């Protein structure tokens, strides 16, 4: 009861008040008798929201009030995916919570709906795209967009991959080599998997956390490392990191070569995140500076050899790590972001003498290929060197886009 109640209260804060799932969980989960179950319930409901919405429409003739809808989603998720809580305990607990939250008149409905619920008996839509939306719990508008861009089979493949739970770490190259880090992990009997970015996938534990706190290693996704590597920074170069927070790519570039980096963002708390990252890792050669990437800065014109534009995006490529992204995502918002992304890239081109790396952690053409394609069409003094759209593979690779652009003339 306590764990289900806590999960419900976290979900209420997320669905009704727009709270961030990770922050709300961290704030509340310490009081749970089983933190792992509460976490799994919350993230599970968010990850399966589209599927649970479909189930909800099948068990209710008309949509119930929002509080009861959230309650039923939690119940349906627990009954379908959590084997450690007996069925009767799920039903009884949620009926009690229904009464506690002032919905006494709907107790009977909740009790009946959950007692009779069986996900295996619910028939999927006949249309294959609609069925895939329910099966993978991805919004229908997005499955349609993906199917148009990648084809149905590729879409089905990457939307169906399992959630990857290992963390990706890299050594602080000013303090450790990859081989030294491997040796340290072996002495602690910690298994690892080498990644394509020269980092390591591991199961997180207290030893890894202590290395991170000491600045000997850091958590950084494989694709984030690949974006920084694509800059090909060289000794003495002046580098601009336009949308830098929390600072991982800037710090990594400072370890790859002795360069001069200006790391920018638009909010003081985000600038502080960069400073904290720099301090923890003992990084040098990085100046933290306020700058709005979407607003032209005459003081930056032709000032930098290379610029990293890891622009604000929909984050659809990392939804496995941020389960609430789908709750507010829409094609309209992607188009709004695309306009911002294009402004940032155009400004970057005025600041940069050699190379721009444009990157996002999303999988939609509207925020990736279309931006770069429009840019080189309208700016003949820039060319595309490489571009790569990564799709989630269930083995640690996120959905990520990296385009390398080079200036052909000043």
Q: Residue 72's domain is classified under what CATH number?
A: 1.10.940.10
Q: What average pLDDT does range 26-51 have in this prediction?
A: 84
Pair 394, 164: CB distance under 8 Å: yes
Task: Give the pLDDT of residue 320.
Answer: 85
Query: What does the mean pLDDT of the chain come to?
Result: 94
Residues 155, 276 within the same domain = no
Q: Are residues 135 and 105 in the same domain?
A: no
Assess whether pLDDT exceeds 90 at residue 20: no
Predicted confidence at residue 100, as pLDDT, reads 84
Q: Confidence class of residue 28 from pLDDT cuts 50, 70 and 90? A: confident
In a domain, residue 250? The reply is yes
**Would you say residue 177 lies in a domain?**
no
9 lies in the same domain as 110 = yes
Query: How many structural domains is the chain composed of?
Result: 3
d(CA 392, CA 343) in angstroms, rounded, equals 28
pLDDT at 31: 61
* Token couple for 61: 């003739």
Tell me whether residue 304 is in a domain.
Answer: yes
Pair 151, 20 in one domain:
no
pLDDT at 23 over 90: no
Average pLDDT for 52-75: 92
Name the band, by pLDDT with cuts 50, 70 and 90, for residue 410.
low
* Helix (H) / strand (E) containing 353: strand 352-360
For 165-233, the DSSP string reads --EEEEE-TTT--HHHHHHHHHHTT---EE-TTS-EEE---HHHHHHHHTTSEEE--HHHHHHHHHT--
Q: What is the structure's pLDDT at 33?
A: 65
Same domain membership, residue 402 and residue 277: yes
In terms of Cβ atoms closer than 10 Å to its own Cβ (0-12, 13-18, 19+), residue 376 is middle
Q: Are 99 and 153 contained in the same domain?
A: no
Greater model confidence, 341 or 107 = 341
The predicted model gives 62-86 an average pLDDT of 93
- What per-residue confidence (pLDDT) applies to 32? 62
Higher pLDDT, 21 or 385: 385
Sort 241 into a burial class: Cβ within 10 Å, 0-12 / 13-18 / 19+.
Answer: buried
DSSP 122: S
Q: Are residues 22 and 154 in the same domain?
A: no
Residues 314 and 373 occupy one common structural domain? yes
Higher pLDDT, 24 or 196: 196
Distance CA 144, CA 3 (A): 37
Task: Mean pLDDT check: name the lowest of 8-22, 63-77, 195-209.
Answer: 8-22
In a domain, 277, yes or no: yes
Residue 281 lies in a domain: yes
Residue 367 has pLDDT above 70, yes or no: yes
103, pLDDT greater than 80: no
In this structure, the answer to whether residues 154 and 18 fall within a common structural domain is no
20 and 150 assigned to the same domain: no
Whether residue 36 is predicted with pLDDT greater than 90 in this model: the reply is: no
Q: 104, 121, 138: which is the final residue of a domain?
A: 121
Q: At residue 164, what are phi and psi to the nearest 5 degrees?
A: -90, 125
Q: Is residue 104 part of a domain?
A: yes
pLDDT tens digits for 137-196?
999 999 999 999 999 999 999 999 988 889 999 999 999 999 999 999 999 999 999 999
Q: How far apart are the C-alpha atoms of 319 and 314, rounded to whole Å?
A: 10
Residues 66-91 have a mean pLDDT of: 93
CATH code, domain carrying 381: 3.40.50.150
To the nearest whole percent, how much of the chain has pLDDT over 90? 84
User: pLDDT tens digits, residue range 249-284?
Assistant: 999 999 999 999 999 999 999 999 999 999 999 999
Domain extent for 24: 2-121
- Answer for the pair 9, 32: CB distance below 8 angstroms, yes or no: no
Range of weakest confidence among 85-89, 189-193, 292-296 = 85-89
Overall average pLDDT of the 116-133 stretch: 95
Residue 1, pLDDT > 60, answer: no
Residue 188 lies in a domain: no
The token pair that represents 274 in the structure block: 């960069």
Do 113 and 135 lie in one domain? The reply is no
Could you say which of 70, 96, 121 is where a domain stops? Answer: 121
- The answer to whether the Cα torsion of 64, 142, 245, 337 is positive or negative is negative
Number of other CB atoms surrounding residue 407 within 10 Å: 16
Determine, yes or no, domain membership for 204: no
Question: So what's the pLDDT on residue 108?
Answer: 87
């Amino acid at each position: 009861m306590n764990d289900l109640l806590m999960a419900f209260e976290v979900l209420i804060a997320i669905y009704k008040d727009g709270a961030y799932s990770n922050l709300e969980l961290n704030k509340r989960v310490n009081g749970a008798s089983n933190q792992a179950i509460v976490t799994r319930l919350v993230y599970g409901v968010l990850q399966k929201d589209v599927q649970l919405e479909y189930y909800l429409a099948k068990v209710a003739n008309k949509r119930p009030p929002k509080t009861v809808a959230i309650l039923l989603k939690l119940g349906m998720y627990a009954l379908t995916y959590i084997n450690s809580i007996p069925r009767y305990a799920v039903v009884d607990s949620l009926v009690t919570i229904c009464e506690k939250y002032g919905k006494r008149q709907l107790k009977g409905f909740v009790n009946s709906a959950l007692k009779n619920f069986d996900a295996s008996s619910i028939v999927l839509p006949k249309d294959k795209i609609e069925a895939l939306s329910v099966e993978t719990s991805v919004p229908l508008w997005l499955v349609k967009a993906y199917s148009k861009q990648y084809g149905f089979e590729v879409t089905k493949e990457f939307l169906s991959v399992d959630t990857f739970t290992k963390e990706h770490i890299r050594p602080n190259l000013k303090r450790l080599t990859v081989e030294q880090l491997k040796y340290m992990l072996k002495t602690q009997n910690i298994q690892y998997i080498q990644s394509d970015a020269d980092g390591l996938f591991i199961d997180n534990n207290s030893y890894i956390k202590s290395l991170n706190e000491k600045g000997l290693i850091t958590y950084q996704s494989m694709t984030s490392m690949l974006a920084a590597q694509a800059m090909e920074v060289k000794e003495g170069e002046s580098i601009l990191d336009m949308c830098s927070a929390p600072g991982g790519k800037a710090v990594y570039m400072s370890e790859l070569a002795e360069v001069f980096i200006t790391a920018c963002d638009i909010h003081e708390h985000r600038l502080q995140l960069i400073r904290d990252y720099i301090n923890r890792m003992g990084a040098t050669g990085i100046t933290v500076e306020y700058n709005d990437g979407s607003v032209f800065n005459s003081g930056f014109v032709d000032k930098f050899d290379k610029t990293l534009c890891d622009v604000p995006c929909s984050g659809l490529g990392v939804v496995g790590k941020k389960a609430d992204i789908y709750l507010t995502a829409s094609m309209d918002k992607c188009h709004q972001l695309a306009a911002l992304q294009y402004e940032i890239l155009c400004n970057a081109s005025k600041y940069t003498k050699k190379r721009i790396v444009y990157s996002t952690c999303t999988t939609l053409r509207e925020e990736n290929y279309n931006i770069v394609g429009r840019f080189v069409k309208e700016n003949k003094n820039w060319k595309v060197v490489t571009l790569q759209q990564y799709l989630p593979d269930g083995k640690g690779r996120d959905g990520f886009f990296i385009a390398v652009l080079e200036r052909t003339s000043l």
